[in-house]
Amino acid sequence: MIKQYIQKLLVFLILFAGIQFAHAQSEFVIGEFTVSKILDGDTFRFDGLDKSTRLMGIDTEETFKDSDAELKVNDISSYWAEYYAHKRDSSNKPAKIESPFGYDTWQWTKKLFKDVVKVRIEVDDYKRVIDMFNRYLVYIIAIKKDGTEFNYNIECVKQGYSPYFSKYGYVARFDKEFKAAQKYAQDNKLGIWSGKELCYPDYDERLIWWDKRGDQIRKFETEYAGKPGYYSMLDQSDFNTLAKHVGDTITIFGTISRVITDNNPIIAKLEINEYDTIDLVFFKQHAELVKELKLDDPVGYYIYAKGKLTEYKGKKQIIIEDKSQVWEE
């Protein structure tokens, strides 16, 4: 009798756990859609989706998309190293340009999706659902004709068509899977790790840059997120609460998206999206701080800015009067 009771209890617990897991997973689902167009390795269009998308954890190389794309690829393939060096020139950051490997990635992606009947689009977490360009931040779960599924984002990294892209932070749900996928591609010398493809030559530099940003985000989330007075421009709910803190001294975490230097005051903008922004304001007597803090030529790392939160013409702002108000960790 006791044995039967225990068996029934175990069955109940297993079923309950399964229901809870399915419910937890469904919370991340935007919906199921069909792919209407594949524009490159990380740009898709979906029938019925109300926004464009940015795929989490990947950043494939750009490709020519015109009718003569293949001709252009064949042309630059003959002098790819010189072509890339010219495009990058003296920039302090790697170039994001069309490449022969970007075209190959596009072709591979289209071929991969020939057997896909629909996709399930899922978000990573509810802190970051939409980026500053009003795109959903998503995973594409591809569902094939036979009912099997695969996570396209992870598969793209595993086959060497993209590194694990951490520029906007490490992903919340599949961090271990992305790291394992990248190690697999590197160990097996696939794609960008093969040394044979006509791809960007500076992935080591890119990974240092991206991973530093990812580490900065993780540090904030580990040490400061949720503490009184600390707010992140990566978290929409954080920004939404700032209306209650106008007049308070706060510390804001984010990255400079652009600096407006052709007027007085100079404004360095922290943005969640095109509508939700905080301006760091430098009046004429403190304009030299922009150069001292290297905000006029930012490399895109995350910063902290501390000061009194005010509003001017409906825009939230912090006036910067001292170098100690802005720093990087």
Sequence-distant (≥ 6) Cβ neighbours of residue 304 within 8 angstroms: 251, 252, 253, 326, 327, 328, 329
Please list the residues that pair with 303 across neighbouring strands: 254
Q: How open is the CA angle 54-29-121, to the nearest 5 degrees?
A: 40
Residues 201-236: b if buried by 16+ CB within 10 A, e if exposed: eeeeebbebbebbbebbeebbeebbeeeebbbbbbb
Identify the CATH assignment for 230-327 out of 2.30.30.90, 2.40.50.140, 2.40.30.20, 2.60.120.380: 2.40.50.140
d(CA 144, CA 112) in angstroms, rounded, equals 10
Residue type at position 19 = I
Question: What is the reported pLDDT for 299?
Answer: 64
Grouped pLDDT means (10 residues each) for the chain, 329 residues: 50 40 66 96 95 95 93 96 93 91 97 97 84 87 97 98 94 96 98 96 94 95 96 91 96 93 91 89 95 79 96 95 96
- The first and second tokens of residue 50, run together, are 């109300």
pLDDT at 15: 40
For the whole model, what pTM was predicted? 0.81
CATH 2.40.50.90 domain range(s) in the chain = 29-216
φ and ψ at residue 242, rounded to 5 degrees = -65, -25
CA–centroid distance for 1 within its chain:
56
7, amino acid identity: Q
The pair of structure tokens assigned to 289 is: 């701080």
Q: What CATH code would you report for 29-216?
A: 2.40.50.90
How far apart are the C-alpha atoms of 316 and 271, rounded to whole Å?
11
How far, in Å, CA of 171 to CA of 157, rounded? 13
The residues of the chain that CATH labels 2.40.50.140 are 230-327
